[in-house]
Structure 1
Amino acid sequence: MKIYTRAGDEGATALFGGGKVGKDHPRVEAYGDVDELNASLGLARSIDMMPRIDEVLVPVQRDLFAIGALLATPDHEKMKEQLSKARIDEQRIEELERAIDACEAELEPLRSFIIPGGTPKAAALHVARTVCRRAERRVVHLAADIELPAMVVVYLNRLSDLLFMLARVANKRAGAGEVTW
């Protein structure tokens, strides 16, 4: 199979499960941002590997692949199927919350805003957090026109909180201080 198909040369792309839309369609914007978030997390994982942080990120990357497939699926029955495969449910949200709580237990309480930066690992996690927020905004925008499972927005919202906390933990574990605003 060749990587290029020439099918998108006219500015349209095929959706998972059928149909075509323009490459600037809100659905494509949403799953494109989720894909960018996934790549950002891959970059963050590759910098100064920290096993306990990276172990949290690998399942998140798998979740993001499933969310991307769900967002690229116009058929509601196939979307439900993707959601069940994705395991984006209350239990998964609770797992993210437990990871956030574990980070909080390791850190001093926040007393002011943190300026993103620090170590390369933490900076990459902060970038991923902002990409996550953009993906969340795109999904909310898409959900205004297309019925989507509410759990997708909840997941992305919780994930951005987790990425913020992981960035703080990465700085702490590396001995880097935080710059406050």
Structure 2
Amino acid sequence: MKIYTKTGDQGETQLYVNKPQKVAKDDAIIECYGSLDELNAQIGLLSARLQADELGSDSDLAMLAAIQNALFSVGFAVSASSTLAPDAVVDLESHIDVMQADLPPQTSFILPGGCVAAAQAHVCRTVCRRAERRMISMAKHTEVSELAQQYVNRLSDWLYVFARYLNARAGVADVPVSR
């Protein structure tokens, strides 16, 4: 398969939903896809960072791989039909609960940062929030899977808690926002 087709040289791209259609490269659906793709790449970077720092457990790495695969399903759900597992949101919530049980209570807003892996998790969280905003913008014009929207919303929560969890594992305390 050739990677270049030259069909996008004029600012349009092919979208495959129920039937192929051309859309502008800045269409809301392409903006949403782009944010989901960027999020997936950032999560890949987080996974690589965890492996390089030997900070991530096998369970952490498996969860990140599952999230990356789920993001492809979210992308499919945005354009056509969802292949996202119905229990995907519940799985994220369960992992959040397990991680939070090992964390000290949060009493204030915290600054993104800490160890490098946690800082990367915060970057992933902010990209996830943007992807969610793009998805909501798109939903004003076309049908978007409610499950996909819930998943992306919950994923940003998971990434936030995961950042705190990674800092705790690395022995780095949360830094409260000073007012």
Same fold, TM-score > 0.5, yes or no: yes
Aligned to 1:6: 6
Aligned to 2:22: 20
Which one of the candidate residues 122, 125, 128 is aligned to 2:124?
128
8 Å CA contact 2:77–2:145 kept in 1: the answer is no
Deviations 1:44-79 (A, max 9, x none): 0011320232221110100001112332x3xxxxx2
What is the distance in 1 between the residues matched to 2:107 and 2:151? 26
- Structure 2: gaps of 5 or more residues: none
Deviation at 1:3, TM superposition (A): 1.0
- Structure 1: gaps of 5 or more residues: 74-78
The two structures have a TM-score, normalised by structure 1, of 0.90
What is the distance in 2 between the residues matched to 1:53 and 1:170? 10
Which one of the candidate residues 24, 29, 32 is aligned to 1:30?
32
Q: Size of the alignment, in residue pairs?
A: 170
What is the distance in 2 between the residues matched to 1:104 and 1:96? 12
8 Å CA contact 1:119–1:171 kept in 2: the answer is yes
Q: Which SS does the other structure have where 1:19 is aligned?
A: strand
Aligned to 1:76: none
Q: Which SS does the other structure have where 2:142 is aligned?
A: coil
8 Å CA contact 1:41–1:61 kept in 2: the answer is yes
Aligned to 1:40: 42
| % same residue | 42
Aligned to 2:101: 105
8 Å CA contact 1:125–1:166 kept in 2: the answer is yes
Aligned to 2:76: 69
The two structures have a TM-score, normalised by structure 2, of 0.91
Aligned to 2:84: 86
8 Å CA contact 2:95–2:158 kept in 1: the answer is yes
